[in-house]
Amino acid sequence: MNAKTIKTTMTGHDHEQLWTALPKAELHVHLEGSIEPATVVELAAHHGVQMTVEEASARYAPGDFAQFIESFIWVTSFLRGPEDYALIARRFAESMKRQNVLYAEVTLSIGIMFRRNQDPAVNFAALRDAAAQVPGVRLTYIFDAVRQWGAAPAMEVARIAAALRSPDIVAYGIGGDELGLPTSDLRGVYDFVASQGMHRLIHAGEIGGPELVREAVEMLGAERIGHGIAVMRDERTMDFLAARNIPLEVCPTSNLRTGALARQIGKETAGYEQHPLPSFFRRGLPVTLSSDDPAMFETTVSGEYAHVHRMGLTTLEMLRLAEASFHHAFLSADDRSALLEKFHSGVSALSLV
- pLDDT of res. 9: 42
d(CA 282, CA 316): 12
From 9-18, 172-181, 220-229, the region with the lowest mean pLDDT: 9-18
- pLDDT of res. 253: 98
d(CA 281, CA 316): 12
Angle in degrees, CA 306, 311, 312, rounded to 5:
105
- pLDDT of res. 63: 87
Going by C-alpha positions, the residue among 100, 102, 112, 97 that lies closest to residue 32 is 112
Beta bridge partners of 202: 225
Beta bridge partners of 104: 26, 139
- pLDDT of res. 321: 98
- pLDDT of res. 16: 74
Q: Note every long-range contact of 7-16, with CB atoms under 8 Å and residues 24 or more positions apart, other chains counting.
A: 7/351, 7/352, 12/306, 12/310, 15/306, 15/309, 15/310, 16/302, 16/303, 16/305, 16/306
| Residue 13 pLDDT greater than 70, yes or no | no
Asked whether the beta carbons of 241 and 328 are under 8 A apart, the reply is no
| pLDDT tens-digit readout, 107-140 | 999 999 999 999 999 999 999 999 999 999 999 9
Q: Kindly state the average pLDDT of the residues 212-223.
A: 98
How confident is the prediction for the chain on average, in pLDDT? 95
Active site residue 55: no
Distances 143 to 103, 140, 199, 353 between C-alpha atoms, Å: 17, 10, 10, 37
**At 172, is the pLDDT very low, low, confident or very high (cuts 50, 70, 90)?**
very high
- pLDDT of res. 1: 35
d(CA 90, CA 101): 14
- pLDDT of res. 2: 41
Beta bridge partners of 145: 174
- pLDDT of res. 6: 40
Provide the 8-state DSSP code for 150: -
| pLDDT tens-digit readout, 244-253 | 999 999 999 9
Q: Kindly state the average pLDDT of the residues 315-342.
A: 98
- pLDDT of res. 79: 98
pTM, two decimals, is 0.95
| pLDDT tens-digit readout, 50-93 | 999 999 999 999 889 999 999 999 999 999 999 999 999 999 99
Of 11 and 274, more confident: 274
As a dihedral over the C-alpha atoms of residue 83, residue 85, residue 90, residue 94, rounded to 10 degrees, the angle is: 150
**At 169, is the pLDDT very low, low, confident or very high (cuts 50, 70, 90)?**
very high
Angle in degrees, CA 126, 127, 132, rounded to 5:
105
Amino acid sitting at position 214: R
**At 193, is the pLDDT very low, low, confident or very high (cuts 50, 70, 90)?**
very high
Catalytic annotation, pick one of 105, 178, 206, 223: 206
| pLDDT tens-digit readout, 269-293 | 999 999 999 999 999 999 999 999 9
